[in-house]
Amino acid sequence: MAAADEGRILLEDDALQQNDEVTGDGSVDIKGRPVLKNSTGKWKACPFILGSGGCERLAFYGISSNLVTYLKSKLHEGNVSAARNVTTWQGTCYFIPLIGGVLADAYWGRYWTMAVFFTFYLIGLCTLTLCASIPALRPAECVGTVCPSATTAQYAIFFIGLYLVALGTGGIKPCIWPLGADQFDDTDPRERGKKGSFFNWFYFFNNIGAFLSSSLVVLVQEDIGWGLGYAIPTLVMAIGIVIFVAGTPFYRLHRPGGSPFTRISQVLVASFHKRNSVVPEDSSLLYETQDLRSTSKGIRKLDHSNELKCLDKAAVVSDSVFKSGDFSNRWRLCTVTQVEELKILIRMFPIWASGIIFSAVYAQMSSLFVEQGKMMDRTVGSFTIPAATLSSFNLISVIIWVPIYDKIIVPIARKFTRKEKGFSELQRMGIGLFVSVLCMLVAALVEVMRLQLAKELGLIDEDVAVPISIFWQIPQYFMLGAAEVFTFIGQHEFFYEQAPDAMRSLCSALSLLTNSLGNYLSSLILTIVTYITTKGGNVGWIPDNLNEGHLDYFFLLLAGLSFLNMLLYIVFARKYKEKKAS
């Protein structure tokens, strides 16, 4: 009966796709029916996704921006313990997307994956709000220097809520921007050309949410109370879920295509099993279904490419299979589309790896940029500016650059490149990598100025701020924001466009993974530099007293690594062959 129903749906799809009013990419509605172009998708559906995404980011940063302060002031943790718990939690937030991506691609689809993980997210936020509001769920306030430790139950309830938030954001992150991009039909040139604007505005609304959290919500938490400070993100998330569900009638959904890991493994096993086979010169002799669709639901066929021919052996029809007429064993015979999926992932790997170095540069915004700012003049009248607040200029930069890019740069670039999106994803990412090099050079120049003034004033041996305004840091924050708009948004779009249809959520999760790996790489570089530069009793480049160190050398090192990374990126980007789907 199930097979008959599926056959009926496929026949309906084939008939309806002859009608111009139906999307040509196989998208369906919430009930699995083909969708009409005029009443679904495009900018009818995108506002709901943009709104829910902005609410999710506000809720996330409402927790993460000031988490270390809550752990220290309310759970009475020490500096080391609080910092360790925050970094472990943040790392988890960037690894769980791999789980969410696989569930979306293989089993549930993006819509239902988000619906499930939104639920976990809201439960986690409610738990944290209760912990901050009910005195019994947290230790008593400090009396003088005596601070009672949290009980095991208090710790357990708080961290259950915290990791439910991590689980929720991990399931939503790899699905939300691919779901938005799904609203534009890849087979329609008019719709496909508008997809780049969605990525720009998605990032714009994300940063609006982050900016509001980093400023207003943090202010409420510290000046009014943590109960209200956590209730606001919870309420905003509830509103975001309502917005997301309200858009259901307008969404275009793509069917899940089965486990991506299984499909990859089948190609590897089949090609190894037939390692002695000869790949025919005529690629049309390789195995592929004769139907309009691929063997998996919702997946377009991919054209054969001449790279990595050793993998083509998986699609070679052996004599035994030909004689038996049984072509169903995917562990012995794969389609050309299935082989091309693995080839795409391999081609994408160098592009993906380039994002790790960029993320290592981006990590300086919340670490060494702050340390540099602490050693500068932070006073404005009688008010002292916290060094970390300058990161707001990065968010402001993104909020400014997105409309400039979308409304000014793209139309100008379009006249020269003849491309609807102005720049290709690879060109856009390359520009961002170049700007990141300039950003680190500017940061190094500011540090040279600071150290020169410290030398002139005889402050080298003094662990005090140098009288040079912290506002000299604004250009490096603005340049990092510009680099972010080019590289991160280009990266998101690239991994959506070039990923195989059945692996788009997984590839989105892999692009998020570069953020986590970039932070780890930054820590590794810092450890190596410290070890080498402190040999022989030297103070090193980054001592506790930055006035006697050379933070400028470290920034120049990162600029050099970024420049080499950019050159390697250019080499692989020039060789990259875009996928061709039927």
- My answer on whether 265 and 246 are in the same domain is no
Residue 410 within a domain = yes
C-beta separation of 568 from 430 below 8 A? no
Q: What is the dihedral of CA 153, 159, 162, 164, to 10 degrees?
A: -80
Count of CB atoms within 10 A of residue 67's CB? 17
- For residues 176-203, give the mean pLDDT: 84
Cα(452)–Cα(458) distance, integer angstroms: 10
Q: DSSP assignment, residue 150?
A: P
Helix or strand run (H / E) with residue 384: strand 383-384
- My answer on whether 307 and 358 are in the same domain is no
pLDDT of 573: 93
Q: Which residues sit opposite 581 in a β-bridge?
A: 302
CA 9 to each of CA 2, 5, 30, 451, 561: distance values in angstroms, whole numbers, following the listed order: 11, 6, 14, 71, 53
The string of pLDDT tens digits covering residues 431-488 is: 999 999 999 999 999 999 999 999 888 888 888 888 999 899 999 999 999 999 999 8
Amino acid at 79: N
> In this structure, what CATH number is given to the domain that contains residue 485?
1.20.1250.20
Q: Which of 130-139, 347-356, 446-455 has the lowest mean pLDDT?
A: 130-139
C-beta separation of 257 from 106 below 8 A? yes
Q: What is the mean pLDDT of the chain?
A: 85
Residue 255 within a domain = no
pLDDT of 353: 93
- My answer on whether 189 and 315 are in the same domain is no
Q: Which ranges constitute the DSSP H helices of 325-409?
A: 336-362, 368-374, 392-404
Give me the residue label for tokens 């790949």.
Answer: 279
Confidence of residue 6 (pLDDT cuts 50, 70, 90): very low
- My answer on whether 270 and 419 are in the same domain is no
- My answer on whether 315 and 370 are in the same domain is no
Strand intervals (E) in 412-529: 466-469
Q: Which of 294-308, 325-339, 419-433 has the lowest mean pLDDT?
A: 294-308
- My answer on whether 102 and 54 are in the same domain is yes
- My answer on whether 431 and 360 are in the same domain is yes
- My answer on whether 384 and 319 are in the same domain is no
- For residues 94-123, give the mean pLDDT: 91
More reliable by pLDDT, 14 or 150: 150
Residue 454 within a domain = yes
pLDDT of 238: 96
Question: Which residue, among 234, 219, 117, has the nearest Cα to 175 in the 3D structure?
Answer: 117
pLDDT of 8: 46
Q: Which residues sit opposite 34 in a β-bridge?
A: 28
The string of pLDDT tens digits covering residues 177-189 is: 889 888 988 888 7
The full length of the chain comes to: 582
Q: Is residue 503 predicted with pLDDT exceeding 50? A: yes
Question: Which residue, among 534, 437, 545, has the nearest Cα to 486 in the 3D structure?
Answer: 437
Count of CB atoms within 10 A of residue 327's CB? 15
Domain span at residue 327? Answer: 260-288+298-339
Strand intervals (E) in 455-544: 466-469
Q: Is residue 292 predicted with pLDDT exceeding 70? A: no
Number of domains in the chain: 3
Structure tokens at 193: 């050309």
- My answer on whether 217 and 272 are in the same domain is no
- For residues 359-375, give the mean pLDDT: 83
